Amino acid sequence: MTGMSGAAATRDGEAPEHSPPCSPSYDVTGKNKVVTVDGVRVKLQIWDTAGQERFRSVTHAYYRDAQALLLLYDITNKSSFDNIRAWLTEIHEYAQRDVVIMLLGNKADVSNERVIRSEDGETLAREYGVPFMETSAKTGMNVELAFLAIAKELKYRALWHPDGPRFQIRDFVESQKKQPSCCSFS
Ligand SMILES: Nc1nc2c(ncn2[C@@H]2O[C@H](COP(=O)(O)OP(=O)(O)OP(=O)(O)O)[C@@H](O)[C@H]2O)c(=O)[nH]1
């Protein structure tokens, strides 16, 4: 998966406030994922921009309503990485101002085909102030963590209290993420 996925969260049992916009030209696969955060079940409604990597053709309504956006590139595909800046520009223009953004470098399991260094992902993420990690949809590396971090952040925001515990999604991701077993780059 490359491109962008959006997520909106509800506490489990509540009706979702958001739903993917209907567009005949836009193939959105909706999935629900329930993540338990500190005893609270958070339901993430996930929409994937399947097959819509030419971002300019993506209807803005799709991510205007998202509470979180997962931006994925493929570490074996330079153009997918280069597209991320354009995605971020789009997000800045059209998404909710406080949308949670996470940058993911996927296919970390195929390090022999790597063309994007982990440091390049980290540098880009730092520039935009977003959490970053490499993932593998094949092995599952860091995949659950990505959804857990999003769920934690959205729950924290929903239940925020001035005297309550603080949550920093970037710190959480940095402390929990696994590195690919082989990070060689030739
Ligand atoms: N080795 C490896 N292959 C992956 C990984 N993630 C996806 N793939 C493979 O990459 C190919 C493309 O995956 P998709 O999820 O269809 O990618 P996509 O960019 O969302 O493609 P569209 O849905 O057509 O836009 C498939 O053959 C997947 O099996 C991964 O983490 N590791």
CA of 69 to the centre of ligand 1 (A): 18
Q: Using a 6 Å cutoff on CB, does residue 51 contact ligand 1?
A: yes
At residue 54, the pLDDT reads: 55
CA of 136 to the centre of ligand 1 (A): 10
Q: Using a 6 Å cutoff on CB, does residue 143 contact ligand 1?
A: no
pLDDT at 20 over 90: no
What is the residue-wise DSSP string for 114-177? Answer: --S-HHHHHHHHHHHT--EEE--TTT-TTHHHHHHHHHHHHHHHHT--TTSPP--HHHHHHHHP
Shortest-distance atom of ligand 1 to CA 3: 19
pLDDT single digits (tens) 35-64: 999 888 888 888 777 545 555 555 577 778
Shortest-distance atom of ligand 1 to CA 135: 31
Query: Could you give the CA distance from residue 116 to residue 119 in angstroms, rounded to a whole number?
Result: 8
Q: Using a 6 Å cutoff on CB, does residue 110 contact ligand 1?
A: yes
Query: Could you give the CA distance from residue 3 to residue 113 in angstroms, rounded to a whole number?
Result: 19
> Which numeric CATH code is attached to 3-178?
3.40.50.300
Predicted confidence band of residue 93 (pLDDT cuts 50, 70, 90): confident
pLDDT single digits (tens) 65-89: 889 999 999 999 999 999 999 889 8
ipTM of the predicted assembly exceeds 0.85: yes
Residue at 106: amino acid letter: N
Query: Could you give the CA distance from residue 110 to residue 17 in angstroms, rounded to a whole number?
Result: 38
Question: 162 and 147 in contact (C-beta within 8 Å)?
Answer: no
- The tokens describing 177, both together, are 């993420």
